[in-house]
Amino acid sequence: MSDLLLSILIPTLPERKTSLDMLMNEFIKQLGPVQSTSIVEPGSMFDGHFRAFFRWADVEIIQEHDDGGMTTGMKRQCLNEAATGKYVAHFDDDDLPSDHYIEWVTEGCRKDPDIIGIRGILIIDGDMNSQSRFEQSTQYKKWEKKGVDEFRGPTHLNPIRRDIALRCPFNDVRIREDWMYCKKVMKIHENTPLRELMITRNLYLYQYRSTK
């Protein structure tokens, strides 16, 4: 069994290379030099499909690449299945972590929760003046807005034990896969409450696009 603590999972596309590089540079700044890398070509029917692994002592980052034939949900599911960490957390390739994301999340994972509640900053259509706060936790049964802030159940962004994530397979869809996944996690939580650790500091800078 792997000793890795955390798998960070990133679906991406060729046209997102610039933003992906920014994201990877931020993680490398927090983790230090990459200790090992590998490329896997699954031999699928999709053009440009390959998987890139970057590993450190107790963290790995996996990127799922293709030319656009795969749905977002399919990519996320492939990443969950490929991960070897005890916990998985997805990142969108045009978003950014806080300066202490790795420190705070690995510290939280070592406390052995089932899932980690998160807070972050929401940027709408790249307008830095439109910032609001979002919070994602099992305490929220409905997604709602209070003023400019948003409160949601857990999505792919929440670090969660991989064995639990695999019980909530992503739907093979291009949009709203996060909401569908949230419903599955909350169904498990309703039957057997998940032990949640809430990190109250902002972990995530989320770039929301109103048109997709």
pLDDT tens per residue across span 164-182: 999 999 999 999 999 999 9
Which region among 32-36, 42-46, 133-137 has the lowest average model confidence (pLDDT)?
42-46
* Tokens of residue 4, six digits: 């890795």
* 107 pLDDT tier (thresholds 50, 70, 90): very high
Rg (CA), the chain: 16
pLDDT higher than 50, residue 1: no
6-12 and 59-65 as β-strands: parallel, antiparallel, unpaired? parallel
* Tokens of residue 79, six digits: 């990443």
The sign one gets for the Cα dihedral 105, 195, 171, 167 is: positive
- Is 76 in contact with 89 (CB distance < 8 Å)? no
List beta partners, residue 207: 123
List beta partners, residue 152: 136
Helix intervals (H) in the chain: 17-31, 72-82, 101-109, 162-165, 177-191
- Is 77 in contact with 178 (CB distance < 8 Å)? no
What φ, ψ does residue 38 adopt, rounded to 5°? -155, 155
- Is 116 in contact with 109 (CB distance < 8 Å)? yes
pLDDT higher than 70, residue 202: yes
What is the per-residue pLDDT for 44?
Answer: 80
pLDDT higher than 60, residue 37: yes
pLDDT higher than 90, residue 70: yes
What is the per-residue pLDDT for 42?
Answer: 86
CA separation, residue 186 to residues 174, 190, 197 (Å):
21, 6, 15
Summarised one tens digit per residue, pLDDT across range 94-103 is 889 999 999 9
- Is 170 in contact with 180 (CB distance < 8 Å)? yes
CA dihedral 93, 98, 100, 101 (to 10 degrees): -40
**Residue matched to tokens 């034990």:** 161
pLDDT higher than 80, residue 212: no
Which domains can be identified in the chain, with CATH numbers? 6-208 (3.90.550.10)
* Tokens of residue 17, six digits: 């290379």
* Tokens of residue 112, six digits: 């052995």
